[in-house]
Amino acid sequence: MNDQERSAATLESRDYSTGPFVNPRVSWRARLLNRALQTFVKRRMHNLPEIPALRRFMLKTDARLAAPVSGDIDVQTMKVSGVPCHSLTRRQSSSRTLLYLHGGGFCAHTPKTYNGFAARLCDAFEANALLPDYRLAPEHPYPAAIDDCFAVYRYLLDQGTDPGRIVVAGDSAGGCLALALMMRLRREGLPMPGCVVAMSPATDHPDNSPDLEAATRNDPMFSPEVLHLFASSYVPRPEDRTNPEALPLNGEYEGLPPLQIHVGSTEALLSHSARAAAKATAAGVEVSLNVWDSMPHVHPIFHLIPESGQAIDMMATFVRRHLP
């Protein structure tokens, strides 16, 4: 077993409940957030068995969770290769481009939340951003979302954007799409971005998650039923569940760009991050897996907790190192 294989085996087999963690302690704001999510979000989502009801609930929470967009950033809507997008442009000059792929279980989009979060990333990365409003399941199951994300990335290349100056980032379902996009780019023979940042990525089908019942018991946001509803809506055909462009844990990771992952220690999707990091490490990819003690799903998006800013600072350091 070589060093890469040993590192990969350690990543996959480690007990993440005992650390080491990125954060030495959990802030009181994060503890309060976890209680609120457990009480008002997890229970409510569990009792909403259909996608339309889940969408309405998520849109209602959108404005409450959204960070304000800085006055130094201009937000415009546009169509890119037929895909609706939000374009975020800094008033200061920016040589980097952020392609941000939003989460929402492949089934929902909360634009206020994501514009506010992407604006924070733009400031931290010194980048302009493009956020595809990709087609949603179940009306548009796989491969609609990845087709749209690929079309927007290809547009950036066609416009002369240096791929080495692009960072692709995404959270949850968007983290899945960020990694799936790398699989599509390799198949198409197109250049990879400078780096990838994935927050709490969903990389596999819930049926393949070890001990999902126990994992969701400690997760402040998701029940097994909600995770299965999202996954079955996006990838309804069993034959697609082994396709790496649908669920990227199935893919080969050789040749992928440097990858940074952030995930909470009590997340149901923790194993998705650990297994993806292990595969990438075994393939020789530079991987930074950051496990945060007791942080909820996609904790960087919650701007009122200090751990959010800490994670964004780590992402910015990573991006600047690979896109100097």
List, for residues 153-203, the tens digit of each pLDDT value: 999 999 999 999 999 999 999 999 999 999 999 999 999 999 999 999 999
Phi, psi of 9 (to 5 degrees): -65, -40
> pLDDT digit string (tens) for 240-272?
999 999 999 999 999 999 999 999 999 999 999
Does 24 reside within a domain? Answer: no
- Tell me which of 102, 205, 209, 267 is the catalytic residue: 267
Q: Which structural domain, as residue segments, surrounds residue 228?
A: 3-10+29-322
Q: What is residue 79's predicted lDDT score, i.e. its pLDDT? A: 96
Q: Considering only CA atoms, which of 138, 145, 136 is closest in space to residue 110?
A: 136
Long-range contacts of residues 56-65, Cβ cutoff 8 Å, at least 24 apart = 58/104, 58/108, 58/110, 59/108, 59/110, 61/110, 62/110, 62/111, 62/112, 62/113, 63/112, 65/110, 65/113, 65/301, 65/302
Contact between 101 and 168 under an 8 Å Cβ cutoff? The reply is yes
Q: Which has more pLDDT, 46 or 168?
A: 168
Does 19 reside within a domain? Answer: no
Rounded to the nearest integer, the mean pLDDT of the chain is 92
Q: What is residue 123's predicted lDDT score, i.e. its pLDDT? A: 95
pLDDT above 70 coverage of the chain, percent: 94
Does 20 reside within a domain? Answer: no
Dmax (CA) of the chain: 53
The C-alpha atoms of residue 119 and residue 254 are separated, in whole angstroms, by 32
- The answer, yes or no, to whether residue 311 has pLDDT greater than 90, is yes
The C-alpha atoms of residue 58 and residue 65 are separated, in whole angstroms, by 10
What 3-state class would DSSP assign to 121? helix
- The answer, yes or no, to whether residue 64 has pLDDT greater than 90, is no
Which CATH number goes with the domain that contains 35? 3.40.50.1820
Query: What pTM was computed for the model?
Result: 0.94
- Tell me which of 102, 272, 297, 299 is the catalytic residue: 297
Does 202 reside within a domain? Answer: yes
- The answer, yes or no, to whether residue 11 has pLDDT greater than 60, is no
Q: What is residue 26's predicted lDDT score, i.e. its pLDDT? A: 96
Whether 297 is a known active-site residue: answer: yes
Does 305 reside within a domain? Answer: yes
Check the CA dihedral 31-33-35-38 and report its sign.
negative
Does 300 reside within a domain? Answer: yes
pLDDT category, 210, cuts 50, 70, 90? low
Does 17 reside within a domain? Answer: no
Q: How many domains does the chain have?
A: 1
The C-alpha atoms of residue 165 and residue 93 are separated, in whole angstroms, by 14
- Tell me which of 172, 209, 233, 273 is the catalytic residue: 172
- The answer, yes or no, to whether residue 320 has pLDDT greater than 70, is yes
Q: What is residue 62's predicted lDDT score, i.e. its pLDDT? A: 73
Does 23 reside within a domain? Answer: no
Whether 254 is a known active-site residue: answer: no
pLDDT above 90 coverage of the chain, percent: 76
